[in-house]
Structure formats: structure tokens, C-alpha cells
Amino acid sequence: MAILSGINPVLEGLKAGRPLDRILIAKGAAGPRLQEIIDLARRASVSVRFEERGGLDRLAGTPAHQGVVAMGAPQRYSELDDVAPAAQLLVVLDGVEDPHNLGAVIRTAHAAGAGAVVIPERRAVGLTDVVAKAAAGALEYLPVVRATNINRTLEQLKEMGYWIYGLDERGGQLYTEIEYTQPTVFVMGGEGHGLHELVKKHCDVLVRIPMAGAIASLNVSVAAGVVLFEWRRRQAK
């Protein structure tokens, strides 16, 4: 059973029509956004119960649930064929291990207009409740595809007509100087190690963010924001 906690994740879950079994609200908690949750839950026939805060702490695994916890069906993965080749922008992650980072990338990708995020099945975090929370509701809207083999998936995407741009510290081209060909895939590496060598070989272009200062890389969700919103800016022009 999946647990959503916090006002934004529960609210977005309700708005997106995600199947929820029950919503628990801490006794004494109040506010317009909690009231909105209660109203939406009643309209969706999801039962709402008021319980002691300690019970919510235990269910959420943290006291940072803002007085609301929802129990529902676990998040499902999508198939590549459900999202491609229709999506003009896809994000492929080559081994992100931190659930906060995965959640933040999902939130960022959705905000930049991506059609899906692809994650590897092994040596990477999957869709956990921490990811759902860090995605701040975006997981309700953005399909996530789990790939058995990232390199095989990149080949399939190429066959569908996608151009593959890999983000790499030593990439030969600046992300600001590229004429992005649509449909576009951005591939990003995990924390600390960047893209695997074989994954790099599957990219059409290796792209670099020019860095000031002494640190070689950005957090993966920040790097995603920088390149995806540059892609978006170009489309808007």
C-alpha cells in the first residue's frame, strides 16, 4: 500500500483522481487547504478519518506530514510505447539513487513539459513514497517508465526518431549553443558518477553546462532544470 503524506501530495493525488483508500487527518489540524482536501475527498467518496498525530507520524514515517496522510494503491509504471513517440521531450536517468533527487527531477520534468521520465530497473531508486513526496504531486501527472536496459531503450528511442542529448561534464557542446532537434531525449547521470561510458556512446551529442567556480557539477535535478527550461525557452521563441 502506498502512503502519501503532506498537503501538496495528497491534494494533487485527489485532483488527479488517483485511487485512494482513505485519508487520515490529525486531530486539531485545520486550514483552508486541509479543508479543500476534505471537500475533494468527500466528492471522490474517499473516507476521511481524524486520528491522533502520533498515528500519522508512524504511517508517514516522519512527523513532517502537515497533518494529513493518505493511503492508496501503489504508483504504477508506464510502458515506453504509452509515451513514445508521442512525447516531444523525454528525460532518461542513468542511475539516480537518491529518492529526493528522483522526485525533484520528476517535478522539474513535468514543469518543463516533458512527456515522461525513464529510469533503470537496477542500481537506481524506484517510485517510493519519498519520491512521490519530493515530486510534490507531479508523479500524479507524469508517466514514469522503468527500463530493463537503458542502452536498449535509447536504441528504441533512436529508431522512433528521437535525438539523444547526454548531459556530461566533459561534453563537447554547450547546452546554450545547440539547435535541439525534436523529438528530444535528455539523458542524465546519477549522483557522483555521471553517465556510464556505454550510455555516452548511445548519445547523439554530449552536452555541457558551463560552470563558474570551483565545483564540477550541479545537483541532478538542478541540472535537469537548467537544460530542460533552456529547451523550453527555445520552443517558445
The interface region with its own copies, picked from 36-44, 50-58, 108-116, 195-203 by CB under 8 A, is 108-116
Calpha distance 3→59 (Å, rounded): 7
If phi over 0 gives left and psi between -120 and 50 gives alpha, with beta otherwise, what is residue 162? beta
State the minimum distance, in angstroms, from the CB of residue 149 to its own copies: 28
> How far apart (Å, rounded) are the C-alpha atoms in residues 25 and 55?
10
H or E stretch at 26: strand 20-26
Binding its own copies (rule: CB under 8 A), the pick from 141, 149, 152, 161 is 141
The Cβ of residue 184 has, within 10 Å, a number of other Cβ atoms equal to: 22
When asked if residue 192 is in the footprint of its own copies (CB under 8 A), the reply is yes
Q: Which one of 108, 168, 171, 196 is in contact with its own copies (CB under 8 A)?
A: 108
Interaction residues for its own copies, span 24-63 (CB under 8 A): none
| Residues of this chain, 82-101, that bind its own copies according to CB under 8 A | 100
Using the minimum distance from each CB to its own copies, give the nearer residue, 49 or 192: 192
Which grid coordinates belong to 159?
A: 529508431
CA angle 43, 62, 116 (to 5 degrees): 60
CA dist 229 and 107 (Å) reads 13
Q: Does 169 bind its own copies (CB under 8 A)?
A: no
Site residues (vs its own copies, CB under 8 A): 8, 12, 15-16, 100, 104, 107-108, 110-113, 134, 136-138, 140-142, 176, 192, 209-215, 217-219, 221-226, 229-230, 232-233, 236
